[in-house]
Amino acid sequence: MKWLWPALRSLFAVVVAFFICQLHLDYIESFFYDSRMAYTPGKTLSNRVSLVMVDAKTVEALGGTPKFGLHAEALRQIQALKPFAVVYVSNLKAIEGSATEKSEFASETSKNPRFYHVVDDLEMKGESGKLRLPAPLENIPLSSGPKTADSKILAKDGVTRRMLVNYQDQFMLHPHLAGEINTEVRTLDSIQGLVDLYDSKQVYMRFQKPGSFPRLRFEDVVQGKLDPNLIKDRIVLVGDDLQISHEDYVYTPFSRSDNFVTRTEMHANMFETMIENSGLRKMPFWLTLLLTGLISILTVHVVLLLKPLKGILILGSTAFGFALVSYLLFWIFDVWIDLSHPFLAIFLCYYFFIPYRLIVENRKSWEYFQKNKLLTEVEELKTNFIGMMSHDLKTPLARIHGMTEIIVKDTNPLTSPQREALDMIKQSTEDLTKFITTILNYAKIESQGVVLHLQSQDLNEILKEVVRKNEFLARVKHIQFVLELEPLFSIPVDPNLMKQVFSNLIENAVKYSPEDSKILISSDEKDGKVIIQVADQGMGIPEDDLGHIFMKFFRSRNAKFSSVKGSGLGLYLTRYFVELHNGQIFVESSPGQGSTFTVELPIKTN
């Protein structure tokens, strides 16, 4: 059932993802959408669109807003340079002028089969002729080109992001004209990023940075001061930038709150999107669902299984990587990945599961605490028990030892088997006493620690005494002690503890050495330290065990399998005592060759 929890977690994540995907997150998504639009480098322009603008300076230069007479003149100048098409965005109904001027303008427009006037109104099927201007302008073809800030999908904030391509099976002006430049947009099937909305087909436009299209001044055009390259074969849009009428401006992804873009520039963007066929391709819903699901599963697992910092780093880099990929896809392949749902999924899954994780962690640490408490209590009991028992054993042992001595020293002759038996009893009691002393020391360290009783001592003297005590043991195994003791300064040490340190090392050397070998015991002073070494030619210690031999109750593999007895406490106590003196102990050893233990003690203790 190991898979059950991960499976349940994943299922939960998928359910959360599913519900998140049902939410309309237009506000968040439009923010991500606009940032991508605004921060991607602009696409190279088709160079087929130009603007002729009437602005405040034009009014100043011409002594008033241009009337139909001037418009007719401007149109003449433009049309003389063979534009691909002329599209009037300025509201022709609002332009003033005498009947003659109007007729003059109308006749100028009739000379160009590709002259259009775009209006915001939509002509439905069966309504043809609705969008007609009054005479004498009645023959000017009117085309609808409404802005799409229709308060609906991704446009609630009044920002224009979409354009109409086809309404009730009729193509709008933009794809119609662009289709003559780029044949791809003549058929609906090959228009990139087409979406069905209500009764229409629409496209999310690729906006250029404001000011990207070449802009000519109306007054310059009237005076014939215009660059022919900016007119020839181009769609020339004539519009207003008078900053008077709200109608003339729109919000775009580049200008969400201030800095409106003119309606004329919006139309330029519509033409450009169609000419380049660069409408944005929205990711299908199932892919959004899949990505949100995967991200939710990842978040849930990261929150529940990883350490918090690592989790945040992984989630942060996933979110960042995801945003980066979506940015690149947007820029290079015109693909628009939904970011709001996956990001919301990360956020919700994270905050939903953090409390759960905290509860689990809390329970774990409580259990751990309880277990630890129990273990400490057991450990204390064990130490106390060992201490008590060893202490109680010491007295009868001392008695046996004493009695044996009395019998040995008795003048009555003993038979040789009796003497041998007595020797054995004496030796065993000594061994047992030593063992119990070790255990008692251990119990003391564990319960209350050891207090140092420092005296100024020549360590060589202690060494010689320990060697002397072990000589009998060494002789039995024909082991020879070689002493190389340099004269030493006396240093403050606890003589009892030092005796135990050296005894442990020298006894071990004897215990773990074969017969007829040598043990070198040396002392020296170097770099403000007294250095004592005990080197044997014994069985050595396997490399894997070297790091553990100073741990309590540890015995190396080869020692365990040999006949040599031991508690595994000697070196633990040795290191403890050496460190109490601010010293250090090291070992070097190679199996079969021997071991060298080095004790370093500072000459000055502080």
**Binding stretches for ligand ADP (CB under 6 A):** 504, 508-509, 512, 536, 538-541, 549, 554-556, 559, 566-572, 595
Residue (281 or 555) nearer to ligand ADP, CB: 555
In the complex, what is the shortest distance from the CB of residue 569 to ligand ADP, in angstroms, rounded to a whole number?
6
In the complex, what is the shortest distance from the CB of residue 598 to ligand ADP, in angstroms, rounded to a whole number?
12
SS3 letters for 173-216? HHHHHHHHHCHHHHCHHHCCCEEEECCEEEEECCCCCCCCCCEE
Token readout for 157 is 């904030």
Neighbouring CB atoms inside 10 A of 46's CB total 17
In the complex, what is the shortest distance from the CB of residue 590 to ligand ADP, in angstroms, rounded to a whole number?
11
Alpha-carbon torsion angle 430, 432, 437, 440, nearest 10 = -160
Residue (92 or 571) nearer to ligand ADP, CB: 571
In the complex, what is the shortest distance from the CB of residue 511 to ligand ADP, in angstroms, rounded to a whole number?
6
Query: How many Å apart are CA 287 and CA 178, to the nearest integer?
Result: 31
Position closest to ligand ADP via CB? 566
Residue (295 or 549) nearer to ligand ADP, CB: 549
In the complex, what is the shortest distance from the CB of residue 592 to ligand ADP, in angstroms, rounded to a whole number?
10
In the complex, what is the shortest distance from the CB of residue 361 to ligand ADP, in angstroms, rounded to a whole number?
39
- Closest by CA to 83, choosing from 37, 129, 114, 45, is 114
From the CA atom positions of the chain, what is the Rg in Å? 49
Token readout for 218 is 């109306």
Residue (167 or 576) nearer to ligand ADP, CB: 576
In the complex, what is the shortest distance from the CB of residue 487 to ligand ADP, in angstroms, rounded to a whole number?
27
Residue (58 or 503) nearer to ligand ADP, CB: 503
The helices-and-strands tally (H runs, E runs) of the chain is 17, 21
Mapped onto helix, strand or coil, the DSSP state of residue 258 is: coil
In the complex, what is the shortest distance from the CB of residue 346 to ligand ADP, in angstroms, rounded to a whole number?
55
In the complex, what is the shortest distance from the CB of residue 498 to ligand ADP, in angstroms, rounded to a whole number?
16
Residue 592 phi/psi, 5-degree rounding, is 85, -15
In the complex, what is the shortest distance from the CB of residue 574 to ligand ADP, in angstroms, rounded to a whole number?
7
DSSP lists the bridge partners of residue 200 as: 167, 197
Residue (158 or 514) nearer to ligand ADP, CB: 514
Neighbouring CB atoms inside 10 A of 245's CB total 11
Residue (270 or 569) nearer to ligand ADP, CB: 569
- Contact present, 369 and 361 (Cβ < 8 Å): no
Query: How many Å apart are CA 372 and CA 42, to the nearest integer?
Result: 64
Residue (90 or 504) nearer to ligand ADP, CB: 504
Token readout for 248 is 């003339």
Sheet containing 215-217: which strands, arranged edge to edge?
Answer: 142-144, 115-119, 85-88, 235-241, 49-55, 215-217
Residue reference for tokens 């065990």: 545
Q: In this structure, is the dihedral angle defined by the CA atoms of residues 95, 101, 104 and 106, taken in order, positive or negative?
A: positive
Residue (236 or 571) nearer to ligand ADP, CB: 571
Q: In this structure, is the dihedral angle defined by the CA atoms of residues 550, 521, 435 and 475, taken in order, positive or negative?
A: positive
Q: Looking at this protein, which amino acid is placed at residue 267?
A: H
Residue (232 or 557) nearer to ligand ADP, CB: 557
